[in-house]
Structure 1
Amino acid sequence: MLQCLALALASCAALPVSAQQVRIEPYVSGSLTWTDNLDAASSGGGSGLVADIAPGVSIARDGGRIQGRLDASLRNQVTLSGDKGDSTFLSLLGRGGVEAVDDLFFIDVDASISRDNTSLFGGRIRGDTLNTDSDDEIRTFGIAPRLELRFGDTAATLAYRARWLDSGGELGSQRVGRWLANADNATGFGFFGWGANYGRTDTDYGSSGTTDVSQEEARGILYINVSTQLRLALVGGYESNDYAVRKGESGSITGAGFDWRPNERTIISGVSEKRIFGRGYEFQFKHRRARSSWELGWSRDISSSLQTFDSLLDLPGLRSRYEGLLSGELDPVIREQLERELRALGVTSADLNETVVSNSYFVDRRFRAGFSLIGVRNVLSVSLYRSDRERLGETGFVTLQDDFSIYERIREKSALMSLSHRLSGASAVTATLIRSDARGEGSSAAEIRRTLLSLGLTTRLGPRTTAGLSYRYQKSSGSDDFTENAIIANVAMRF
């Protein structure tokens, strides 16, 4: 994976670029964490002091034929007191695209490497900076070439997307290849329009012994243009997959949808279809004003971890929080720095969505809602999230490190509230409260309830140096019981 990423970056570097469009910024960040429960144990966890030093580089390019962003750091975590052990690993998040042929041929790439708790039912909350076990390392990589074609008013796309998921433990590996062909002319006949798409997904589990699976979908769409703001759609098609049945199952797709844009700041859309797994649907509401953003959505569809990891900012709650806390900062480099400061406070995207890490497919029904209110000195962000995931296939389909090897159904709900107050142009105080509940059901059952409270001060010591001090409290009860208090000091410097 790293060789592929290096090759992609080298190819990008070989193309002519403008120096003003490329930003390469080395940085180093460090933190010192004292915790009264180093082992996250119900009793006898012991106190300890942990240092974390991470030199890294941030590369960003906007505009032109090459666009993207890469953030890579080498994390070195050393236990100064206690017996947690030391660890060193690469942390990476990158996403970009190349317009290889003007208005015709494009290539998108993405990659991530991270370590975090892979189980919902034990250990520290997702996003805790002390989650550095090598067995919990998750690596993903994706490359997607595509052709964008246009014939008059008809737009067409032919694309292939290959994605890999690999882990440092027993989760195993997964490769997903997806072909997609799409043609669309929403106003081809004035009042009526048409669309057609075909997709095939093949999932390969390598030498793990798990049976490879596939999915195929084809749809035809009739658009009804009621007005310039409202469009209706009738959907008909066919699908097949062998996710739950070794010999496969197939059936027709019938449904309807709408897309309503009452103004340039508001989007309301939805679609509902009869599928082989039951009723599938997706509805969303998005509204943005100068000082606020609102989002509401609920959906039911077949999903997987690779699809969940596909877009960082699509995680429930993160988009509104990102737009809220970082809305006043236009410099992409400083925005990335602010994101690192949020992570130093113990709050990351993973906290907002207790994602199931699985190499299996599941029917995922979820609800999400969030808003941010942006004042002159204050930002209030609130998000709610609820999901119900049901495994497709038998337990032999998944590995021992997978929560779906124990539970057939996993339900979650969480709520997050964050208030940020700028004390001055250089300092801010942030308070965050997260409550979550996860339940596993099936032949075995478990439930875990978590609370995370953090309060932190971040200040800019200089044009390229920031520092922070925060207090974090987390409590877990149910299948895993422990309570922890932690104090975190951090500093970051850009060069």
Structure 2
Amino acid sequence: MARPTIVRPQPRLALLAMAALLAGPALAQEREAFKLERSINLQQTFTDNGKLSDNDRQAESITEVSPGIRLSGRSGRVQGSLDYRLDLVQYARDSGRSTAHHQLAADGGAELVDRHVFLDASASVSQQSISAFGVQSGGTGLDNANSTDVASVAVSPSAKARLGGLIDLSAVANWRATRAKDSTAGDSNDWDASVRAGAQHGIFGWSVAATRQTSDYAGSESYISDSVVGTVSLSLTPRLQVFATHGEDRSDILGNGTQKSSSNGWGFNWVPGVRTQISGQADRHFYGNSHSFNLSHRFRRALIAYTDSRGVSGQDTEALGPLRQRYLQIYSSCMAVVNNAATCEQLTRALMGFDPSVSLGFLNSAPSLQRTQSLVMSITGTRNTFALAASRNQSERLGDQQYDAGDLAIVPRVRQYALTADWSHRLSTQSSLALTASWQKTPDEDTQPGNDLRRVELSLTNTLGQRTTGTLSVRRVWFDSETSPYRESAIIGSLNYRF
């Protein structure tokens, strides 16, 4: 049977989808509750190695013009945020490399029927590495053949109701599409649908959920997984709940035909205090063990958070609503301690598994077994703020799965480590000094040599007016690799105006 053709949308698809959601009837009726901010950023970079190569070093002057918009707020039953920027990059000497990039982070939700029907959506466009073993860029404004724009759109309708005042019923569907520019590796369509029934009787609870999940990768087969999972829970205290699960699975994601199996697991949710949250879950599946663990604690002037998860890519059935709540919880805790939006956004994204300053990962062509660990810490004082983010990612081949493209088509696993330390000092009410040091490593795997990226950047930021900010930075990058090492130094000046 012929495989259906996948239509490859342009990166602007993510922006259009999110704009359509935010422009719904409820928003049109109460637009004043949303805040719109426009901006334009001008950046000039002088680098001694514009081609990121020690064999063909060439000094370069790179000009970036980046208009952007930011929309956020809540109006009636609609809430959301949209942050979009268009980066126009112009190379002075090598004008053929001049390009444009889209940067988008958007998320929205609507309560279509009061307390019963909901719609969540998100969209993103960002640059990602094609291969973990290729050249890694150490700064903005520097393009290389190993990076590309990747766009994602996700939509999640859901509904819930109570039957007879005793049994809670819910249904959730999640659809996600990912496209990479100028590459079929990483292109995928994922969707899942689940129905759930459950109830709470005093300290005892139960639920039964049925789920179907489908993953469709470009150039590969479609993979289908069905499961029915029963859960029993016990609330030992108002703040501590434990639960056990048993499920029946049927799936072909191992690449060797459809397999049937049973799964068992356990977990807990614990909230010792208003500043601490701990949760964990462990399950035994036909492909191996999976788990998730989350811990966050907010001190008076500090924050620490840790996550550890292992499972199959594309098999997360959690809807966007809980993900948004988790993001806002971490971000709010950080703001209560650090009170710096840029720092808290970076820390929160690192904890959730996507750090804008350290882009671990690579494009893949089939489901894989993934293990992700992340540790975030921040300490703030009267004038100083220190933040540390560490992460470890590991992707492995899954069963007899065939990988037509990507790193897992060459090696059985890919490991990546990253560490970022950031210190900022407020010189006055108008200016601040920041020092950032980062390290990213991809170890050798079989015949594929790894690489090591180190970066240090010092920047001075000054408020030039009520809506204008200027930044002057210097950076140094060391990239060690058997195939394409390089060293790079740069001076960057930028001017941001918000209106």
Band of TM-score, shorter chain: 0.7 to 0.9
Give the superposition deviation at 1:267.
1.4
Note if contact 1:119-1:356 (Cα within 8 Å) is conserved in structure 2.
yes
Alignment match, 1:72: 84
From 367, 372, 375, the counterpart of 1:366? 372
Match status 1:350 vs 2:356: yes
From 467, 477, 495, the counterpart of 1:491? 495
Note if contact 1:420-1:430 (Cα within 8 Å) is conserved in structure 2.
yes
Alignment match, 2:176: 163
Give runs of aligned pairs for residues 318-357 of structure 1, distance below 5 A: 323=334, 327-328=338-339, 335=341, 349-357=355-363
Deviations along 1:335-385, whole A, 9 cap, x unmatched? 479979xx9xxxx92333512332321111232212111212111111221
Aligned equivalents of 2:386, 2:426: Cα separation in 1: 12
Match status 1:255 vs 2:265: yes
CA RMSD of aligned residues (A): 3.2
**Runs of 4+ residues over 4 Å off in structure 1:** 1-5, 132-135, 304-308, 310-316, 318-322, 324-327, 335-340, 393-396
Match status 1:30 vs 2:30: no
Alignment match, 1:457: 460
Alignment match, 2:5: none
Q: Secondary structure at the match of 1:398?
A: coil
Match status 1:6 vs 2:10: no
Tell me which amino acid in the other structure corresponds to 1:178: D
TM-score (norm 2): 0.86
Match status 1:291 vs 2:301: yes
Tell me which amino acid in the other structure corresponds to 1:158: A
Give the superposition deviation at 1:111.
1.3
Could you list the runs of 5+ residues in structure 1 that have no partner in the other structure? 330-334
Note if contact 1:451-1:475 (Cα within 8 Å) is conserved in structure 2.
yes
Aligned equivalents of 2:159, 2:464: Cα separation in 1: 48
Note if contact 2:454-2:477 (Cα within 8 Å) is conserved in structure 1.
yes
Q: Secondary structure at the match of 1:131?
A: coil
From 276, 279, 286, the counterpart of 1:276? 286
Alignment match, 1:204: 216
Tell me which amino acid in the other structure corresponds to 1:85: R
Give the superposition deviation at 1:441.
2.7
Aligned equivalents of 1:447, 1:486: Cα separation in 2: 25
Distance 1:189 1:394, change over 3 A: closer
Aligned equivalents of 1:108, 1:314: Cα separation in 2: 12
Give the superposition deviation at 1:250.
2.8
Alignment match, 1:433: 437
Alignment match, 1:229: 239
Give the superposition deviation at 1:128.
3.6
TM-score (norm 1): 0.87
Give the superposition deviation at 1:296.
1.8
Aligned equivalents of 2:201, 2:495: Cα separation in 1: 60
Give the superposition deviation at 1:96.
0.6
Tell me which amino acid in the other structure corresponds to 1:182: R
Aligned equivalents of 1:274, 1:193: Cα separation in 2: 22
Match status 1:475 vs 2:478: yes
Give the superposition deviation at 1:84.
6.0
Deviations along 1:289-315, whole A, 9 cap, x unmatched? 33211112222211259999x899999
Aligned equivalents of 2:261, 2:334: Cα separation in 1: 41
Aligned equivalents of 2:459, 2:315: Cα separation in 1: 32
Alignment match, 1:214: 224
Deviations along 1:390-444, whole A, 9 cap, x unmatched? 0225674332xx22222220112222111111112222111111112113535x3
Distance 1:369 1:327, change over 3 A: same
Match status 1:409 vs 2:418: no
Give the superposition deviation at 1:8.
5.6
Distance 1:313 1:408, change over 3 A: farther
Distance 1:199 1:128, change over 3 A: farther
Aligned equivalents of 2:141, 2:315: Cα separation in 1: 21
Give the superposition deviation at 1:95.
1.0
Note if contact 1:364-1:388 (Cα within 8 Å) is conserved in structure 2.
yes
Deviations along 1:212-258, whole A, 9 cap, x unmatched? 11222321111122111222111111223222223122311112212
The alignment covers a number of residue pairs equal to 475
**How many percent identity over aligned positions?**
23
Deviations along 1:104-138, whole A, 9 cap, x unmatched? 11111111222343222222337643237697121
Tell me which amino acid in the other structure corresponds to 1:406: I
Q: Secondary structure at the match of 2:131?
A: coil
Q: Secondary structure at the match of 1:244?
A: coil
Tell me which amino acid in the other structure corresponds to 1:290: R
Tell me which amino acid in the other structure corresponds to 1:294: I
Deviations along 1:455-484, whole A, 9 cap, x unmatched? 111121111111101111111112431111
Aligned equivalents of 1:196, 1:78: Cα separation in 2: 56
Aligned equivalents of 1:353, 1:141: Cα separation in 2: 19
Give the superposition deviation at 1:63.
4.5
Aligned equivalents of 1:72, 1:87: Cα separation in 2: 17
More displaced stretch, 349-358 vs 213-222: 349-358
Aligned equivalents of 1:404, 1:135: Cα separation in 2: 17
Give runs of aligned pairs for residues 371-450 of structure 1, distance below 5 A: 371-392=377-398, 396-399=402-405, 402-439=406-443, 441-442=445-446, 444-450=447-453
Distance 1:133 1:184, change over 3 A: farther
Aligned equivalents of 2:336, 2:140: Cα separation in 1: 20
Give the superposition deviation at 1:94.
1.2
Tell me which amino acid in the other structure corresponds to 1:356: F
Q: Secondary structure at the match of 1:40?
A: coil
Alignment match, 1:45: 57
Aligned equivalents of 1:157, 1:306: Cα separation in 2: 17
Distance 1:5 1:54, change over 3 A: closer
Aligned equivalents of 2:266, 2:317: Cα separation in 1: 24
Note if contact 1:395-1:405 (Cα within 8 Å) is conserved in structure 2.
no
Aligned equivalents of 1:338, 1:271: Cα separation in 2: 27
From 174, 177, 182, the counterpart of 2:188? 174
Q: Secondary structure at the match of 2:154?
A: strand
